[in-house]
Amino acid sequence: MEHGSLNASMLKGYHSKWDTWTAERAKANLSPWLYEEDGVDSAVRELTVFMASRCLVYKNQSQTVKGYLAAIKYFHKQYAGWELPTSHFRVVAVGNAVERLHARAETTPLVRQPLTVPMIIAGRERAQTNAFGLQGRGWGSLSHISCCAERLSYGPTGTA
């Protein structure tokens, strides 16, 4: 894999993720390089510990954690000539656990309430008194909408 196979944006992202990996390894007085002669189990252990750390300590989502793995794998392949075992069943299992953990932790999305006439009128009143410190921008549209909403709130006889 050569630099030419990655676009500039992806390479920049890989460098950023690699820098994070090397900083984490330096804090633990460890080399950023995982060595083939240390064995697959050693590499798998180091990768899975890093994945768990990114998920549990730094609250990274599964796609971000996978991005770290891709970057680490890329630099090891590019500069150390070793393809890291990122498809090892334990690495995959930890990746799946990260996905499940975040899926459970996610709250249900907020249900947006419909915009009501009283809400529009209140917004117009606040804009007119400049309660938000905003001047002009967008509030003209809000005023127009509130006038239309007021007209719509009255029945065909002109009464509420």
Residue pLDDT, tens place only, 74-116: 999 999 999 999 999 999 999 999 999 877 766 555 566 777 7
Give the model's pLDDT for residue 139. Answer: 45
Give the model's pLDDT for residue 16. Answer: 98
Q: Which long-range contacts (CB under 8 A, 24 or more apart) does 99-104 make?
A: 99/62, 101/55, 102/55, 102/61, 102/62
Instruction: Identify residue 95 by its one-letter amino acid code.
Output: G
Torsion-angle region of 12 (φ positive above 0: left; ψ -120 to 50: alpha; else: beta):
alpha
Give the model's pLDDT for residue 56. Answer: 92
Q: How many other C-beta atoms lie within 10 A of the C-beta of residue 136?
A: 8
Which residue positions in the chain have pLDDT lower than 70? 1-4, 105-112, 127-160
The pTM of the full predicted model, rounded to 2 decimals, is: 0.64
Give the model's pLDDT for residue 86. Answer: 97
Instruction: Identify residue 150 by its one-letter amino acid code.
Output: E
Q: Which has the closest alpha carbon to 17: 1, 35, 32, 34?
A: 32
